[in-house]
Amino acid sequence: MVVAKSWTMVKHFDGAPKPEDFKLVENELPALKDGELMLESVCLTVDPYMRFFGSQITKEDITIRSLVPRLYRRKMMKEGDIMIGAQVARVTESKNPEFPVGGYYVAQGGWTTHFISDGKGLHALPSCWPESLPKSLAIGAVGISGLTAYFGLLEVCSPKKGDVVLVNSAAGSVGSIVGQIAKMKGCKVVGSASSDEKVEYLKEIGFDEAFNYKTVSSLEEALKAASPEGYDCYFENVGGKFAEAALQQMKDFGRIAVCGVISMYNDPVITSGPYIQPYILFKQIRMEGFLVSRWEDRYEEAKKQLLQWVLEGKLKYHEHITNGFENMPAGFIGMLKGENIGKAIIKV
C-alpha cells in the first residue's frame, strides 16, 4: 500500500504566499489497474506561475478574470486542491509495459510524493541522458525553464548578432539561460538581479553587464550605463516599475518577449503606470506575451539542443536545492522572494 504525501493550497494566496496557506495531506493510493503505473517523485520544481494560479478569482474581479485565457481557466486552483506543478518521477510499479519499473519521467503530477498515471502526459528523459547529469535538469535547464528561455528568446525576441539583449530576473532559472543563449547568438547581454551575489554569478556565466536593481540609485541610469545605445531585445520576467524604465531605453524596432511579471503576481489588483502605447507606437516596438506550451510540438528538438549545449559546457546551470518534500512550501516562498540562484528545485 502506497501512501502519497501531497501539499494542498488550503487558502487562496492573498499577497505573498504564507506557510499557513499550505497543508500536507496523506492519501492511501489504490492498487494499480491494468495500464497504470505508480510514480514516485524524485525532485520537483517550484515556479512563479504557481502563484498566479493560486489567486482567487471572484465574479467581481474583472481584471484578474479577464486575464486568464480560456485555455488556462481550468488550471486555476480551488482551495483544497493539490498544488499544480511538474516533477521528475521514477516508476516504482507498473501494469503498463510501455513504462517499465525504474524509468524516469517528467510528469505534471502536482506537489505530491507518489501518484498513479496511465502514462498520458509523461515524457521520458532523453535516451542519451548521461548518468553524470542531475536528473533535475529535466525540469530545469533541459526542461521547461530551458524551453521557455529558448523559444521566448529565439522566437519572440528574434535576436540578431550584435543586438543588445536585456533580461531581468537574470539569475533565475529562465533568465540565466536566456542570457547564455543570447551570448551564443552573438549578442551583448545585460542582466539585472536582486543581489550582488547574483550579479557576480551573471558575470561568471558570461553576461557583459549586470547590476543589482535593488541597490542602484536609478533604474534608468543603470540601464543607460549598461547600454548607452539602448536595447534591441528585452526578455521580460518582472513587469511593473522595471518594465516602465526598460521601455524608455528600447531602441526603435525593439522586441519585447513577456515571459513573466513576477513583481506583480502578489498584487491584489493590477497596479498602474504610464500607458505604454505611445512608446510602442513611436518606437515601433513589438511586444508579445507567450506561454511556452505553444511550441509543445518542438520541445524534443529544443531539449536535444539544450542538452547538447549543457554537455559541451556552453550552457552553465545552477540549482538551488531545497531538501525534503516537507520543505516544499518554504522552497516556493523563498523562490518567489528571489532567494535562489538558477533553478529552484525540491529534492524529496
Q: What is the DSSP string of 322-346?
A: EESGGGHHHHHHHHHTT--SBEEEE
Work out whether 264 is an interface residue with its own copies (CB under 8 A). yes
Q: Does 324 engage in binding with its own copies (CB under 8 A)?
A: no
| CA dist., res. 68 & res. 312, Å (int) | 39
Among 175, 239, 329, 331, which residue interacts with its own copies (rule: CB under 8 A)?
Answer: 239
The reply on whether position 233 binds its own copies by CB under 8 A is no
- Nearer Cβ to its own copies (61/118): 61
Residue 275 in the binding site for its own copies (CB under 8 A): yes
Say if CB 52 and CB 337 are below 8 A apart. Answer: no
Backbone angles phi, psi at 147, to 5 degrees: -65, -40
Which of these ranges, 1-9, 128-136, 186-194, 283-291, lies near its own copies under the rule CB under 8 A? Answer: 283-291
Closest contact distance (angstroms) between CB of 71 and its own copies is 6
Give the nearest distance from C-beta 5 to its own copies in angstroms. 31
Piece in contact with its own copies (CB under 8 A), picked from 36-44, 76-84, 248-256, 320-328: 248-256
Q: For residue 72, state whether it binds its own copies (rule: CB under 8 A).
A: yes
Judge residue 34's burial from the number of C-beta atoms within 10 Å of its C-beta, 0-12 exposed, 13-18 middle, 19 or more buried: exposed
Q: Which one, 53 or 105, has the nearer CB to its own copies? A: 53
User: Binding to its own copies by residue 283, rule CB under 8 A?
Assistant: yes
Cα–Cα nearest to 328, from 106, 78, 45: 45
CB-CB contact of 274 with 245 (8 Å):
no
92 lies in the site for its own copies, by CB under 8 A: no
Q: Provide the residue type at 271 as one letter.
A: T
225 binding its own copies? (CB under 8 A): no
Look at residues 108, 99, 181, 184 and name the one whose alpha carbon lies nearest to residue 147.
Answer: 181
Contact 40, 103 (CB under 8 A): no
Binds its own copies by CB under 8 A, chosen from 18, 270, 323, 337: 270
* Binding of its own copies by 284 (CB under 8 A): yes
Closer CB to its own copies, 98 or 288, in the complex: 288
Binding segment toward its own copies, per CB under 8 A, in 24-32, 120-128, 259-267, 303-311: 259-267
Q: Which amino acid is at 313?
A: G
* CB environment 109-122: b (16+ within 10 A), e (fewer): bbbbbbbbbeeeeb
Residue number, 237 or 340, with CB nearest to its own copies: 237
152/292 Cα distance (integer angstroms): 7
> Which residues in this chain contact its own copies in the complex, by CB under 8 A?
52, 62-63, 66-72, 220, 236, 239-240, 243-244, 248-249, 252, 258-261, 264, 269-291, 294
